[in-house]
């Protein structure tokens, strides 16, 4: 069995080294060098601000759980793409026209450093480059190169108009509405948070399977992709409920971002709509549901990669039992 904490730390160190040392390949000239230096620094600013790297870690560990070290290696580009998508969403969320936040990961938000318009472009750059990175995925089994189409589809659906963007649209539309009911906010969380986490598990699953030398019929492949995606949505729903609870009960220093902004912006969160006790209970039931769905997916395969499976389950439990 792997030494869990050491293995996770090494994996994250490797990931962060690649993510935080990227150089934009810009066409420029001496007269424009100051401007090219600025965009390069602006692009890297939110990526180098730290963070728990929850989403890429879920991609990598899921890939390891289904494809071992080969699966994990295949998933590295997908993990990078996911973190760029997530970071773009934070840059845009923090803008004055959205959540209007001055603090992210304990540091000034991108628009506080570079201005609103350039922060918008930073987000655009991160979003579009995520798909360029994903398209560079390399496979240990050359015959599985067509899996790239599945990867692009999964990430686009999780991040786009049928996923995170729809959730954000709903969130903006419902903010300040005193008649909001929990069923509406649940739809917000399933899409805004859950579908990207669903995409993370789905990306890892696809990369893991691509590393295996096995035949899986298309119908079963689609069914298992859907099931693991739904498990990720349940994780996301639990995660967001916990996030709302922490926003209500923790300080900005503890969270590394502005605390209490849900109440300030009149957002109808789970604790507000359901009460604290029922919100905690719902987060627990969604966690249990996610783990149950993951077990069903694992049952369809051998237990060849138990160490990564254990790491994945452990990380999910830690994520959904966090206190900050």
Is it the case that residue 254 has pLDDT exceeding 60? no
DSSP states of 155-176: HHHHHSTTTHHHHHHHHHHHTT
Q: What's the confidence (pLDDT) of residue 262?
A: 55
Superfamily, domain 4-319: Farnesyl Diphosphate Synthase (1.10.600.10)
Q: What's the confidence (pLDDT) of residue 178?
A: 86
Q: Is 57 exposed, middle or buried (0-12, 13-18, 19+ CB in 10 A)?
A: buried
Task: List pLDDT tens digits, range 266-302.
Answer: 568 899 899 999 998 999 999 999 999 999 999 988 7
Task: List pLDDT tens digits, range 24-79.
Answer: 999 999 999 999 999 999 999 999 988 889 999 999 999 999 999 999 999 999 99
8 A C-beta contact, residue 197 and residue 239 = yes
Q: What's the confidence (pLDDT) of residue 309?
A: 94
Q: What's the confidence (pLDDT) of residue 1?
A: 40
Instruction: Please report, for residues 56, 71, 74, 82, 132, the alpha-carbon distance to residue 77 in angstroms, rounded to integers and kept in the order given.
Output: 10, 11, 7, 9, 10
Q: What's the confidence (pLDDT) of residue 217?
A: 87
Q: How large is the angle between the packed helices 306-319 and 54-74, nearest 10 degrees?
A: 170
Bridge partners of 107, per DSSP, are: 104
CB neighbour list of residue 201: distance below 8 Å, 6 or more residues apart: 58, 59, 62, 228, 229, 231, 232, 235, 294
Mean pLDDT of the chain: 90
The confidence band for 249, taking pLDDT boundaries of 50, 70 and 90, is confident
Which segments of 191-217 does DSSP mark as H helices, in order?
A: 195-210
Q: What's the confidence (pLDDT) of residue 267?
A: 67
Task: List pLDDT tens digits, range 194-240.
Answer: 999 999 999 999 999 999 877 788 899 999 999 999 999 999 999 99
Count of other CB atoms within 10 angstroms of residue 99: 21
Question: 107: part of which helix (H) or strand (E)?
Answer: strand 107-108
Q: What's the confidence (pLDDT) of residue 247?
A: 85
Extract the tokens encoding 291: 């783990």
Nearest partner of 69 among 308, 294, 302, judged by Cα: 308
pTM for this entry: 0.91
């Amino acid at each position: 069995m792997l030494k869990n904490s050491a293995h996770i730390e090494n994996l994250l160190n490797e990931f962060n080294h690649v993510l935080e040392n990227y150089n934009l390949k810009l066409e420029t000239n001496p007269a424009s060098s100051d401007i090219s230096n600025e965009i390069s620094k602006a692009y890297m600013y939110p990526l180098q601000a730290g963070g728990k790297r929850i989403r890429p870690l879920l991609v990598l560990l899921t890939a390891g759980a289904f494809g071992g070290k080969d699966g994990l290696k295949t998933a590295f580009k997908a993990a990078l793409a996911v973190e760029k998508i997530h970071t773009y969403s934070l840059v845009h969320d923090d803008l004055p026209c959205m959540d209007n936040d001055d603090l992210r990961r304990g540091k000034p938000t991108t628009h506080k450093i570079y201005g609103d318009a350039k922060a918008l472009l930073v987000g655009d750059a991160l979003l579009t480059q995520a798909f360029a990175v994903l398209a560079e995925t390399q496979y240990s089994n050359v015959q599985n190169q067509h899996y790239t189409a599945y990867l692009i589809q999964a990430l686009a659906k999780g991040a786009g108009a049928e996923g995170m963007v729809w959730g954000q649209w709903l969130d903006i539309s419902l903010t300040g509405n005193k008649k909001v009911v929990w069923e509406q906010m649940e739809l917000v969380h399933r899409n805004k948070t859950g579908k990207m986490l669903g995409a993370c598990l789905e990306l890892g699953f696809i990369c893991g399977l691509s590393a295996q030398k096995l035949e899986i019929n298309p119908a079963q492949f689609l069914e298992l992709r859907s099931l693991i995606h739904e498990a990720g949505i349940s994780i996301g729903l639990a995660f967001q409920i916990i996030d709302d609870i922490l926003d209500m009960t923790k300080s900005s220093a503890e969270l590394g971002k502005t605390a209490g902004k849900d109440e300030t912006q009149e957002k109808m969160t789970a604790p507000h709509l359901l009460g604290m006790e029922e919100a905690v209970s719902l987060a627990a039931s969604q966690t249990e549901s996610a783990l149950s769905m993951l077990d069903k997916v694992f049952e369809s395969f051998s237990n060849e990669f138990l160490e990564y499976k254990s790491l994945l389950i452990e990380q999910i439990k830690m994520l959904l039992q966090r206190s900050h």
